[in-house]
Amino acid sequence: MGHLENRKCHQSNILRRIRQTTLLTCVKECFITSQCTAINYRKNWSLCDVVGEITDSALVEEDGCSLSFAGVCTNHNCAAGKKCVKVDNGLYTCVTAYCDDELPDIYDAVSIETFGMYRNIGAGNKFKCNDGFVLVGRPFVICTDYGKWKILFYCIEQ
């Protein structure tokens, strides 16, 4: 999506300059700054520039500086359950990335996922039936390729 250019910096349209910061914090600041399309980061100075619109004429060679472009999805907002990806023609589109709906109520069963439920496409969350019930089917709820939940089991009273 984005890319990194070492030994280059952009010298115009600096939206914000942040001193004494890390590269990770610099990237985070770009994410939360409206109209950010790239960052300049000078490691030896711990200096971050949050950059707006990029023009080729403002790119300069500079030792110790790295320019990181945010990529084609910078100003694109995908709906819930989608993510932005670059397509063959150089444009971008939104594709399904996770189930946007909450997991439906599953009566008489509980999740046994150690770290909690998750919504990734193709992911299966494991369940078990409550005491006094027997599981029929496979004990998973799957987020399908279409971003919709599919329950592969049900619980019946013993």
Three-state secondary structure call for residue 124? strand
Alpha-carbon distance of 157 to 135, in angstroms, equals 9
The pLDDT, as a whole number, for residue 2 is 59
The pLDDT of residue 75 is above 50: yes
Alpha-carbon distance of 5 to 117, in angstroms, equals 38
Q: Average of pLDDT values for 36-56?
A: 90
The pLDDT of residue 1 is above 50: no
The conformation of residue 120, written as its DSSP 8-state character, comes to: B
The pLDDT, as a whole number, for residue 81 is 85
> What percentage of the chain has pLDDT greater than the value 70?
93
The pLDDT, as a whole number, for residue 73 is 66
> Residue ranges per domain, the chain?
10-55, 67-96, 109-157
Any idea which fold 109-157 has? Complement Module; domain 1 (2.10.70)
pLDDT in tens, 100-156: 888 888 889 999 998 888 888 988 999 999 999 999 999 999 999 989 999 999 999
Helix (H) or strand (E) holding 23: helix 23-32
